[in-house]
Chain A
């Protein structure tokens, strides 16, 4: 494709079929600041589960925070998870040392729900490809 003739790139010279696409499809991807690839070189990170703001809360299987002692919920982790442990947990489901698999799923879901500004978010973001 010629790189310079941009202005006419989408003006067809003959009638072309234009497909609008399914409602759930996506045709716009926005470039976001990316730290993921460099994270290994810049950051040795940890994620507390849960963050200090919610210390003592239990973590429900869906990752939400619930009152201490809620049946079926996982207790808070005594130590933060290291970046490598989080990566393995999220990518292959392998459980961190000393954690049963049901709790590990709850912790994984908690981490997936982290948002910017919450403790552990930059660590989580650095382990992911940009959304």
Chain B
């Protein structure tokens, strides 16, 4: 391909090829300080290419392709090329990851104990993880949690955090400007701005942690905490995993172990600060 870039994020290495230079330039700036894959060897290939040959020049539109492809994917405008690259990497993980059990969840860690936060988009887990990552927790990932099947440990996958709409302002007030990508206005998901995790999250991207708590956060309700039964946790985590079924028996063993050994809570929260406070309380209880 005309332009290419290789990136390692935690245990996974990507090569991203592009027909245009600008998406990879933006990607390289956003991931400044990340290691290159050893010997250039990569797990997944992402391709950003024109839908039709002439669309490289005329009203350029970026089709997201790679090792694994979904039909029905609509192209993005070249101005949103960075988002296309990010979605391309997510797509490879969602469809092609077969080594670890993949959960659509944000993970933060403190003192070797990890909190896994999962829920539908809009539940606020990205914002919550981003904020905790600046308040004394280590951000392990805002999008995918990787559960190691043999050890039951969670592996970091600290991609750039994808902040949407209101969350952008929340984090801009918290973090220096140099860690942000460009503001992408008017994407199919509204305004998006990516945030590079802090130096500690990147430096410790090879260091796993034991899961200590599973949280199902829900944004926009009065503060409330309730326990969640194991069967419900199991059901919800299978729905949060794109590769549970494909992992067969190994996935079953890993997920039933996780559900039986790790407590789970559902929390409602009216604003992010309240949730940060609740999570600090949980941490004290877990440590006690």
Contact = CB atoms under 8 A, between A and B. Distances in A.
Interface of A: 1, 3, 29, 31-38, 40-47, 80, 82-84, 119-123, 129-130
Contacts of B86: 41
B253 to A, nearest CB: 13
B245 to A, nearest CB: 5
Contacts of B94: 35, 38, 41-42
Interface string B95-111: 10000000010000000
A46 B104 CA distance: 22
Nearest to A125: B72
Given A40-B189, A82-B188, A83-B188, A34 B71 contact: no
A54 B143 CA distance: 38
A99 B89 CA distance: 35
B230 A37 contact: no
A122 B238 contact: no
B242 interface: yes
13 contacts: A29-B235, A32-B245, A34-B239, A34-B240, A38-B90, A38-B104, A38-B144, A41-B104, A42-B90, A43-B72, A43-B73, A84-B188, A122-B70
B76 to A, nearest CB: 6
B260 interface: yes
Contacts, number: 88
Question: Taking chain A's interface residues, is the majority helix, strand, or loop, or is none over half, making it mixed?
Answer: loop
B244 A46 contact: no
Contact of B74 (A34, A37, A82): A82
B18 interface: no
B72 A31 contact: no
Interface in B212-243: 230, 235, 238-242
B72 A129 contact: no
A37 B238 contact: no
A106 B237 CA distance: 34
Contacts of A120: 72
Chain B residues touching A, range: 35 or more
Interface in B238-267: 238-242, 244-246, 260-261
Contacts of B165: none
A13 B174 CA distance: 59
B274 interface: no
A87 to B, nearest CB: 10
Nearest to A36: B239
B74 A33 contact: no
A1 B230 contact: yes
A45 B73 contact: yes
Given A47-B72, A120-B72, A122-B72, A34 B244 contact: yes
User: Which are the 5 A-B pairs with shortest beta-carbon distances?
Assistant: A3-B260, A123-B72, A42-B91, A40-B121, A46-B74
Contacts of A42: 70, 87, 90-91, 94-95
A72 B242 CA distance: 41
A33 B73 CA distance: 18
A37 B91 contact: no
Given A42-B90, A119-B72, A33 B245 contact: yes
Query: Most chain-B Cβ atoms within 10 A of its Cβ — which of A34, A38, A47, A120?
Result: A38
B239 A44 contact: no
A42 to B, nearest CB: 4
B87 A44 contact: yes
A37 B121 contact: yes
B162 interface: yes
B92 to A, nearest CB: 9
Contact of B72 (A1, A37, A121): A121
A121 B241 CA distance: 19
Contacts of A43: 70, 72-73, 87, 91
Interface string B175-195: 000000000000011000000
